[in-house]
Structure 1
Amino acid sequence: MNVVDRRWFARLGTAAGLLVTLVALLLAPAAPASAHAVLASSSPVASAVVPSAPAEVVLTFSESVRKVTGKIRVIAPDGSRADRGEPTFEGALVTVPVDPSGPRGTYLVSYRVISADSHPVSGAFTYSVGAPSTPPTDSGVESRANPVVENAVKVAKYLGYVGLLLVVGPALVLAALWPHRLSRRGPARLAWAGVGLLALATLAELWLQVPYTAGGGLTDVTGAGFSEMLGSTYGTAHLVRLGLLAAAAFLLRPLTRGPVGRADALILAVLGGAGLLTWPLAGHPAASPAPAVSVAVDAVHLGSMAVWLGGLVMLAVFLLRRADERELGAILPIWSRWAALAVAALLLAGIVQGLIEVGGVRPLVDTTYGRLLLAKVGLFALVMAVAAYSRWLVRRRTAAQRPVPVRRAIWAELAITAVVLGVTATLVQTTPARVAADDVAGAPAGYFSTTLTSPIYSLQVELDPAERGNNSLHLYAYTRDNRPQPVAEWKVTAALPSAGIEPIDIPLLPLTDNHVTGEINFPSAGEWQLRVTARTSDIDQATVTATVPIR
């Protein structure tokens, strides 16, 4: 096969890989971006005592969530299942049908759902009907992922990072810096090892995501679970990564045998850039408060890491050993500038992403995510010191004559960054600090809840955090026999007569036909009067009032 035929074959293979990628994108779900979810409120409220058994339990998360089949359960005081039928998911709202004729006592609600950043969110709380009793237990929903699976996911992500830099490093150096007289066999083997490692890690992540989200062991993978995972954004991103990797492999082959044309090198660079986006699209960045910015800066962060570390591997393993003094004199200054640019981009992107994911100074020290990020920054500073020493050697023009000190410095950089990659693999599996610091699952301090009754309905009122400033209000209407009561029109006001504050209208947003939410800013503390009017038909209307202590 001549050179022209090989190039056409490579481009044909690339087109086939891109076709697979396109199919995966077309099958991708259209899901809104959101953050690592936490349980923001529930009805009945956690630890509340209600007069009669509700017909449904409503879970309101901080962001949209997806279902894990069979992992939302309501356990009655006698240990039997009180939930009836499948829960319904509407963005951040999950409604669980419950048997309203259940016994009196304490009920346990356990849940496990998937947040938009592909991490499982689980927990449990209790409420009581009539009077509290000994809480039941539920072994059907795991509170956390299986430790073996959880660690295997981190290992797979670590190997994926290693595979990425082993592909990027050889491809970059062979395309731009490799001396013509040297054999490409060693770098080719390294590049193909990277391709294999990256493909293996991606497949492992796809497999492990099923038991990771369901809380099972390594072999607890069902067809339904695997299908659900592949239909998610996480599954689509990984399938796209495999397709792009297959397409790039066809262009990587001629590069490992000799110089390639500018067009093929450009196509390979574009495929690499597109592949980098699959990491943030399957993790925290796609679910951040600024997803477009987060995805872009995380891709830059990852790409800069791959260029820098991949290039260092090529220098340490091949160039500093095989290139002569004249070749090193030409290569090292160019590489030094490239490394400086990569590190600058890495640092800038890391700062931007850190600011988005941490959200303040206190979460930096009060959360696991923040502490891991501080450890990563400390290790990175140490790497920068070693890198500065390497650049100093290059600027002195002695590296080409005496490459041993440079080689030692590069090996030191690689050793420290190997630890950095391990911290990163753990970091991407950890709840972002901005979310962990605000985790309000259950009944937080200051949370106000009460049940009001009228001749035509009962009303569950929930206000969070019941203090000066912005507050979230949730209202749930039920019939006298505790079934959801559709409401045609709501009107709610809040007043503080003791301070001369006249009634303030609270705008409401309907979430379901019996559930509305609204936001209100209480300007001062005191005993606020909350007045709710609900019209259930053309002629049926009733007004209830509550006194809400605002701190």
Structure 2
Amino acid sequence: MTAVHRRRFARLAAAAGLLVTVLALLLAPASPASAHAVLNSSSPAASTVVPTAPAEVVLTFSETVRKVPDRIRVIAPDGSRADRGEPTFTGGVVNIPVDAAGGNGTYLVTYRVISADSHPVSGAFTYSVGAPSEPPVDTGDSGRANAVVGNAVKVAKYLGYAGLLLVVGPALVLALLWPRRLSRSGPARLAWVGLGLVALSTVAAILLQVPYTNGGGPFDITADGLSLVLGSTFGAAHLVRLGLLAAAAFLLRPLLTGPVGRTDLVILGVLAGAALLTWPLAGHPAASPAPAVSVVVDAVHLGGMAVWLGGLVMLAGFLLPRADERELGAILPIWSRWAALAVSALLLAGIVQALIEVATPAALVNTPYGQLVLVKIGLFALVIAVAAYSRQLVRTRVAASRPAPVRRAIWAELAITAIVLGVSASLVQTTPARSVSTDVATDSGYFNTTVNSSLYSLQIEMSPAKRGNNSVHFYAYTLDNQPLPVVEWRATVALPSAGIEAIQVPLLPLTDNHATGEISLPAAGDWELRVTARTTEIDQATVTATVPIR
């Protein structure tokens, strides 16, 4: 096969891959524009006593949810399963058939569902038939989150980001800035490593999504669970990415061995742009209040990162050590302009992202998502300062004659941005601040805060933070942010301004460090929530939070 025929075949293969991608995007399941479902109501209502056993339990969530196999259960007072058959999902309403001939006593309902942005949401509550009894325990641990799986998901995302910049940088520099006299073998190997990392990360993300959603361990991957993931928007986006990578590989090979024509570069650019869209389509941006804007902005953010950091890797690893003074004098000013454009796009897209995902100044400071954004901003500012120094070297022509100073500056940029990528990998797995309004009961119906004692840090969540029935969750952590087992939980709420004395909150431990409860709050106002957690036979501490109820 001649070189001309090989290039024609590569173009046809890439075009076919792009066509398959477009079809997959058109046929992919639609995702509603919201995120992180909360349980709005239930029937029977939480903590209530009904005279006769119901024929079904109905859960109503704030948005459309999808099922996780065998993760919605109703436990009878004797510990047996009271649910019968599979629950049905209609938008945000879940109907669970139960045994209408069940005996009297307290029943436990546990649930784990998937919200619009592919993150699992879990909880539990009780209701009683006839009269309350000792609450049963769900031995299935449907609400348990596996720490190994959560960390593995972050590692997979980190590898994907790293692979993206390692393939974009060499491809861009080889296509437009590479001196003809220099060998392409080193950058080519780097690009193939990057492509392999992106492919590995994509496959790992698909496989890990199964235990991530069902609450299992890293090897709890079942055919049903995998089918559920592949049938979701998350799975479709990742399959599309794999198809685009395969299509791009056909055109990447000739580019890595020698110069290619403009048509090939245009097709590669289209494939790269389509691939960038698969990251936001599988995460928070696709479920934001403005999904079209968020998806495009996130893709621009990711593309700016890949161009900037990928170019820095090529400069530090190949061009500065190998190119001569004349070549560097021509290359570095062009690269400086590219970097300025990439950083500007990165900064502008980041600002838009923050405005959408954080929503309020209070959420920027008081939510885990907002705090990670602040860390990322601080690191980014440090990188920009180092980058400004290296750009100054380029403008004064020092870099072409003495490349060592700019090489050191570039390695410093890369070292800091490696940490930024780690923060980003954690950020995409963290609940957006718009869904967690700290210390404020928002219209979306959610309260979240973290309070500290001398023994532990306690994360408190309450929804819908309005008069009437509310769900509350407590998560205990050590002061260095590790899960802390709690032996006994106690909690009360009071509204002194209305003369309402302390009301006991009935609590159910779901995991070692997580307890949940249901409480009916009869009036609006600033309620005082007091929580006591006993961590050993003798160690305990009490924390207090003010919860605004509207």
Q: TM > 0.5 between the two?
A: yes
Q: Which has the larger radius of gyration?
A: 1
Deviations for 1:22-54, whole angstroms, at most 9, x for unmatched residues? 564465224434312222222233223334333
1:371 partner letter: Q
Which whole-Å deviations, capped at 9, do the CAs of 1:70-93 have from their partners, x for residues lacking one?
A: 110111221121222211111111
Q: CA contact under 8 A between 1:72 and 1:141: conserved in structure 2?
A: no
State the partner residue of 1:431.
431
Superposition deviation, residue 443 in structure 1: 6.2
Residue aligned with 1:138, SS: coil
Contact 1:125-1:442 at 8 Å conserved across structures: no
CA pair 249-27 structure 1, distance change in 2 beyond 3 A: same
Task: Give 1:261 shift.
Answer: 0.6
Which deviates the most, 153-162 or 439-448?
439-448
CA distance in 2, matches of 1:353, 1:23: 28
Q: Whole-Å Cα distance in 2 between the matches of residues 22 and 379 of structure 1? A: 37
2:194 aligned residue: 194
CA distance in 2, matches of 1:378, 1:125: 41
Contact kept in structure 2, 1:47 and 1:443, CA below 8 Å: no
**Secondary structure in structure 2 of the residue aligned to 1:74:** strand
Runs of 5+ consecutive residues of structure 1 not aligned to the other structure: 451-521, 526-549
Residue of structure 2 equivalent to 1:351: 351
Report what 2:342 is aligned to.
Answer: 342
Deviates most, 219-228 or 19-28: 19-28
Q: Secondary structure at the match of 1:135?
A: coil
State the one-letter code of the partner of 1:227.
Answer: S
Q: What is the CA-CA distance between 1:173 and the residue it aligns to?
A: 0.6
Where do residues 172-211 of structure 1 align in structure 2 (5 Å cutoff)? 172-211=172-211
Hey, what does 1:299 align to over in structure 2? 299
Moved more, 178-187 or 434-443: 434-443
- 1:94 has 2:94 as partner: yes
| Aligned-partner Cα distance in 1 for 2:142–2:409 | 46
Matches of 2:28 and 2:466, distance apart in 1: 42
How far apart in 2 are the matches of 1:73 and 1:3? 62
Alignment-mate amino acid for residue 359 of structure 2: G
Question: Out of 441, 447, 467, which is 2:467 matched to?
Answer: 447
Residue-by-residue CA offset, 1:302-354 (whole Å, 9 max, x unaligned): 00000000000000000011111111111111111111111111111111111
Percent identity between the aligned chains?
76
Matches within 5 A, 1:381-396: 381-396=381-396
Q: Does the CA-based 8 Å contact 2:446-2:463 persist in structure 1?
A: no
Q: Distance in 1 between matches of 2:132 and 2:367?
A: 34
Q: Distance in 2 between matches of 1:384 and 1:315?
A: 17
Query: 1:229 corresponds to which residue?
Result: 229
Structure 2 residue identity aligned to 1:353: Q
| TM-score (norm. length: structure 1) | 0.79
8 Å Cα contact 2:104-2:129 kept in structure 1: yes
Gaps of 5+ in 2: 438-444, 448-460, 471-522, 526-548
The answer to whether the Cα contact below 8 Å between 1:64 and 1:91 also exists between their aligned partners in 2 is yes
Structure 1 stretches of 4+ with a deviation exceeding 4 A read 440-446
> Aligned equivalents of 1:42 and 1:305: distance in 2?
45
3-state SS of the aligned residue for 1:354? helix
Structure 1 position 81 matched with structure 2 position 81 = yes
Partner of 2:166: 166
Quickly say closer, same or farther: Cα 1:443–1:47, change in 2 above 3 A.
Answer: farther
Per-residue CA distance 1:484-516 (angstroms, 9 max, x = gap): xxxxxxxxxxxxxxxxxxxxxxxxxxxxxxxxx
Q: Is the 8 A contact 1:112 1:141 kept in 2?
A: no
Q: Which stretch of the first structure deviates more once superposed, 244-253 or 138-147? A: 138-147
Shift of 1:13: 2.7
- Cα distance 1:277–1:83, how it changes in 2: closer, same or farther (>3 A)? same
Contact 1:14 1:248 in 2 (8 A): yes
Residue matched to 2:405: 405
1:219 aligns with 2:239: no
1:253 correspondence with 2:253: yes
| 1:131 aligns to 2:124 (yes or no) | no
**Cα displacement string for residues 87-118 of structure 1 (whole angstroms, at most 9, x for unaligned residues):** 11111111212223322222211101111111
C-alpha contact 1:118 1:234 (8 A) present in aligned 2: yes
Amino acid at match of 1:145: A
The change in CA–CA distance for 1:261 and 1:446 in structure 2 (over 3 A counts) is closer
Counterpart Cα distance in 1 of 2:465 and 2:267: 56
Backbone CA RMSD of aligned residues: 2.1
